[in-house]
Chains A and B, each alone.
Chain A
Amino acid sequence: MNVQELKKQYDGKTVVDGVSFAIPKGKVTSLIGPNGAGKSTVMGMISRLIAHDSGVVDFEGRDIGKWKSRELSRRLAILTQSNSIQMKLTVRELVAFGRFPYSGNRVTLEDQKIIDRAISYMELEGFQDRFIDELSGGQRQRAMIAMVIAQDTEYVLLDEPTNNLDIYHATNMMKIVRRLCDELGKTVILVLHEINYAAFYSDYICAFKDGKIARFGTVEGVMTKENLSQIYQVDFEILTIAGKPLSIYY
């Protein structure tokens, strides 16, 4: 995926201002940055949820707006923060929706197998007949991920997947993200607030500030004292734990 000179304005205010980057295939890339830096908007634009004003989002040789939505949904999955599902829907039924881009409303036998696999991959067997609105936040998030797995796309985009989760569930979520990449070979792009999760679990970091990319590179390249202090305007220290650079801010 190749992004060039992406721009977006809201009410005359430029939110994203000429962003260009290339997403490395088969890796985990985290978008970080302060509030209002434009990272979620960029996420929306590269997933076709938000239309871009100018620039190009080149997905496999074609602009994302020129793809047929149905076709795109077999190659790219997006999970946003707002997942309030009103309907009486069981976990298994939700996961089954992941097969919709392929088979529509009819769930084939093969689909059933894929759904089974997705559910067991996320260890949701015990919950599969429970209703979504009866689950805890962590379980619900896992069910959503299971749906994305069933959707079986090469690219997986997650907008703040650790939001509203406690430390235990958030850390587990990040481990799942890592497994999506390592075991299933997916390209994962995620927006994160917690920089240490980004540092520990991703391969590349793209740091935003004021609608522009401040730094983009490997974790080691971006996670330096100077870079972070400049982006977040607070003082940082970098520690190395388990071979990964982690930050402390004060």
Chain B
Amino acid sequence: MNTAAIRANRRRLLILTVIVLFCAAAYMLVEVDFSNPRLFAYAMKLRAPKLIVMLITAFSIGGASLVFQSIINNTIVTPCLLGMNSLYTLIHTAVVFFLGSASAAASNANLSFAVDVVLMGIAATVIYSWIFKKTKHNVLYVLLVGTVLTSFFGSIQTTLTRVMDPNEYDSLMNTLVASFSNINSEIIVFSLILLAAVIFALRKELALLDVLTLGKEQAINLGVDYDRCIRRLLLGVALCIAVATAMVGPISFLGLIIANLSRQLLKTYRHTHLVLGSALFGMIVLVGGQLIVEHIYSYSVPVSVFITVGGGLYFLYLLLTRKKV
């Protein structure tokens, strides 16, 4: 790789980082009363966890989406097609349904998060390993089954909500809509540890990403244990998405936008750069979007809806400019 291109990419990533910092600062400081130190401290205390959660979400979704695209060898897919979002809502609903909203597992935010993520991890591992075995590691079919599972989980979830007590339904809906409020600092620590664990467990596979983009046969030719590697990476992706979803609820299309923006800007195959770029873009989109939602729309429209519409249009643009998919 010629060093000039690497340097150019480093510069681009640096600029992105600066924009992220700017967005973060703007988010923290816009419309804050500096004159009153107590109000200032209160605003900081309110906004800081939200900001951190957005940054973590952006990182996990950005990284996971990019890795996912490289595994599938297709840049117009996003891991939300795997059905992770609806699996999460199903699990969350099921916990409330079977244990009741007053039980410790549902009312305690920490415990609820832990239960959700653990259950989700187990379910994802079992279900997707099974799908992999059944489809003989044909990734496209895994994807198709995933989209079907999305509606399967969704249907069961809606069925449960129809059967459940209206009061419990209310308290459930409050926790399901993607928002960045009601964040607990212990959850942040917990999810950070989880993400770090996933990255650590997959460090070998992550190093293989560059080779995987050459396609299955070339990867095998170069000595990669393809099936195992793909399976482990996909599970990692699932867990990352699980963490992000458990923290803020489902956001589709975010991954698609930021992974592609990163690819367009950096024009490289090197995943160290791409993943970083994708995560940074994610932070800009999320923090910037939340800024707009809070201060221009004054919370009337959730940020996830904006991202879906914007991401959707970007997706259509990508389709039109590309001849082969």
Contact = CB atoms under 8 A, between A and B. Distances in A.
Direct contact of A and B (CB under 8 A): yes
Interface in B200-224: 207, 210-211, 213-215, 217-218, 220-224
Interface string B264-275: 000111000000
Contact of A83 (B210, B215, B220, B263): B215
Nearest to B324: A84
B267 to A, nearest CB: 5
Nearest to A72: B223
Interface residues of B, number: 23
Interface string B53-72: 00000000000000000000
Interface in A15-60: 47-49
B223 A82 contact: no
Contact of B224 (A69, A74, A80, A82): A69
Contact of A85 (B1, B215, B224, B225): B215
Given A48-B220, A69-B223, A73-B221, A87 B1 contact: no
A246 interface: no
Given A87-B213, A89-B269, A92-B1, A97 B220 contact: no
Given A83-B215, A88-B269, A105 B222 contact: no
A151 interface: yes
Interface size class of A (residues with CB under 8 A): 35 or more
Contacts of B218: 83, 97
B75 interface: yes
Majority secondary structure of chain A interface residues (helix, strand, loop or mixed) = loop
B147 interface: no
Contacts of A151: 221-222
Interface in B7-41: none
Interface of A: 47-49, 68-74, 77-80, 82-90, 92-94, 96-98, 100-101, 104-105, 129, 151
13 contacts: A49-B221, A69-B223, A73-B223, A86-B213, A87-B269, A88-B268, A89-B213, A89-B269, A92-B1, A97-B210, A97-B211, A98-B222, A100-B211
Interface of B: 1-2, 73-75, 207, 210-211, 213-215, 217-218, 220-225, 263, 267-269
